[in-house]
Structure 1
């Protein structure tokens, strides 16, 4: 079967499927309707489906001659954000597009004979940086030798009609904490211990963090809440710190320095600060063999002139947990140019949906090529 002709013939169905998934838009861990929609089409195509207790992630698989697996991962969840004054689930990160392309890659390949087992991983809760970890816990990477992902890219990163063989995301984390002081009347501040003043001290202290690191990093406060009355010193203040680093090694150093700084501020201000690290996502780990496979697929579909270099992104993706936790895994995430504006996570994000066609072709071509290799 000619995969390109098959995918071209499915164009309207691909566009309709994207619209269906876009309208479903379910938050992390609540992707029930999305998963059921995808499973129905995959079951009809003859895939074996494995579901799990407690969440809506699943895998769809076709057995090959070998039990070694080549796989593609799609994320299913939507953001929860304000759109035109209403807070609701909204697909502004492209997960509906990713699920559409991976679904039609599976459908395009469903009648083809494979040497390796092919697996499609439909993952929940990427936006919580928790879905990849859960799918690994469930055994979704068992026997996987090659893993690919795909992500829409903003127009400023990759142009429409082009694709990058890897997205080199940095590492991100949040530190969320509560500063506990002593409440008092504002007329008698000496009787209290103002947690907001401790927070001000903390803000200045984190600005002084310096690391012995060659790559970029940042740490800044993004949330501070405390107090409800102008004449009262509050008892507590809540804060969030956003941490970013280009490499996992630098993030490890940054987290240690931040934790030391918080403890020191608590000591100096005689407050109690309780905190924890949240929403951690690792940086991408570049894999040359996977990148070469992606380059082959992009060139085959779009031409060599439309192959972009690896896309360096300040954002984050929990796809990189798969490689962090499995050092021997050959994996990459393709960056798909699609004229995406104004940007990812913007409530009015839009893109050229024709990119769904060539994204599906790239994934299909890459899986076929991966199947022909020794793992």
Structure 2
């Protein structure tokens, strides 16, 4: 009865903490108060934390020795003005948790507390990583630079999914989230009077040709069975109605799921731009920026996470390929693991000013990740994490379930 009462109290406490995080969001790399709150909340449950050289963010170890299983949550918010009407809206002008990282933090915070309660039953260590700066894709690289994953055997992470119903779970083997590339293009023509375009080199016309031509990359240059999206999202030029501007700037993104396709898209993009520049006798400058790589789930650990989710009562399904970016990919380039989706049943999508994920997902997901970490430790301890081994019911401690 005491344990049941404690779990009810924790369930309510996680909701309180999540709402506080939501009311006081912080941008990437600025999560100082979020970090301080987490330190205080963890300390209330006898959990010490370290920063391992990170400016913001925390790392917690629960248990002892090897093997080591890591769980990761992201902390940062977005530069978006919240438009929701609930009673815990953001108090910070122009900043909100429009991606649900407050939900993720509450889930993994809950998992840490549940694991601490069962620390004596762990077959190794669980490393909890409260990671800063996911939204600008720098946080995972900061964690790696500090050697925080050096002794970790497997890592798991999550994202809430607005298009999934509450109580639903999805992941997939192999590629999941996309390679993310950003491009900035400057078309350098020659300005002229709008009534005498022949005296100049119309940068707007040339940029328009480029935008149209770029769509041939996905439709005619890349295998139609491969994921490929090239989107121009900004065009800036001119400052009056009767002058052809000398320059036009374009900005956008390319999304793919394989390394080979990623390289081909960049190659074709630059070839097309060079061809158009040559045809019109202008200069086209391209700044191509590589963002995070695709999230590539390890087949064994994706299946492992799915099997446990089903045992924990989730409705499981195979996730569709996702075209969002996620710096969790950097971890999976170093060690095996799996990234999963937990249904948040929001009427509005991620990065929308009215996004409001269903916080009822928090406690069941905390229980799930606590059980997942314990089961993964047992798997690694018993079978050396061999891919041919599979999860069975006896791997799970009844105290976690």
* TM, length-normalised to structure 1: 0.89
Residue of structure 2 in register with 1:69 after alignment? 68
Structure 1's 169 and 5: CA in aligned 2 closer, same or farther, altered over 3 A? farther
Match of 2:327 in 1: 318
Note the residue ranges of structure 2 that are not aligned, 5 or more in a row: 85-91, 385-401
Matches within 5 A, 1:147-186: 147-155=155-163, 158-166=164-172, 168-186=176-194
Deviation of 1:221 (Å) = 1.4
Q: Quote the residue 1:27 is aligned against.
A: 27
Contact between 1:162 and 1:307, CA under 8 Å: does it hold in 2? yes
| Greater Cα offset, 8-17 or 361-370 | 8-17
Per-residue deviation, 1:215: 1.6
Aligned equivalent of 1:16 = 16
Q: In structure 2, what is the Cα distance between the partners aligned to 1:269 and 1:87?
A: 46
CA change 1:4–1:278 in 2 (3 A) is farther
Match of 1:260 in 2: 271
Instruction: Answer yes or no: is 1:208 the counterpart of 2:235.
Output: no
Look up the match of 1:242: 253
Return the alpha-carbon distance in structure 2 between the equivalents of residues 134 and 223 of structure 1.
Answer: 30
Q: For 1:104 and 1:370, how far apart are their aligned partners in 2?
A: 18
> How far apart are residue 239 of structure 1 and its match?
0.5
After TM superposition, list the pairs within 5 Å mapping 1:32-71 onto structure 2.
32-44=32-44, 45-52=46-53, 55-62=55-62, 64-66=64-66, 68-71=67-70
For the residue of structure 2 that corresponds to 1:244, the secondary structure is strand
Once the two structures are superposed, residues 40-81 of structure 1 have per-residue CA deviations (whole angstroms, 9 ceiling, x without a partner) of: 22344232412435x413322235122x42101111111112
Paired residues in the alignment total 366
Structure 2 vs 1, CA of residues 182 and 110 (structure 1 numbering), >3 Å: closer, same or farther? Answer: same
Cα distance in 2 for residues equivalent to 1:249 and 1:3: 52
- State the superposition RMSD in angstroms: 2.5
Preserved contact between residue 166 and residue 335 of structure 1 (Cα < 8 Å): no
Find the partner of 1:366 among 350, 356, 372.
372
Aligned partners of 1:5 and 1:145: how far apart in 2? Answer: 34
CA contact (8 A) 1:149 1:333 kept: yes
Listed as ranges, the matches of 1:276-291 within 5 Å are 276-278=287-289, 280-291=291-302
Q: Which whole-Å CA distance do the structure 1 matches of 2:293 and 2:358 have between them?
A: 29
Distance 1:3 1:146, change over 3 A: farther
Question: Residues of 2 paired with 1:351 and 1:287: CA distance?
Answer: 28
1:294 matched to 2:305? The reply is yes
SS at match of 2:344: strand
Give the conservation status (yes or no) of the 8 Å contact 1:3–1:364. Answer: no
Give the match's secondary structure for 2:325: coil
Task: Report what 2:142 is aligned to.
Answer: 134
Q: Of residues 83, 97, 100 in structure 1, which corresponds to 2:103?
A: 97
Q: Per-residue deviation at 1:343?
A: 1.4
1-side partners of 2:310 and 2:63: how far apart? 28
1:32 and 1:248 mapped to 2: Cα distance?
36
Runs of 4+, deviation exceeding 6 Å: 1-5
SS at match of 2:80: strand
Gaps in structure 1 of 5+ consecutive residues = none
How far off its partner does 1:143 sit? 1.2
Once the two structures are superposed, residues 267-320 of structure 1 have per-residue CA deviations (whole angstroms, 9 ceiling, x without a partner) of 2222222222236232221312211321232123216xx222234323222211
Question: How far apart in 2 are the matches of 1:275 and 1:52?
Answer: 35
More strand by share: 1
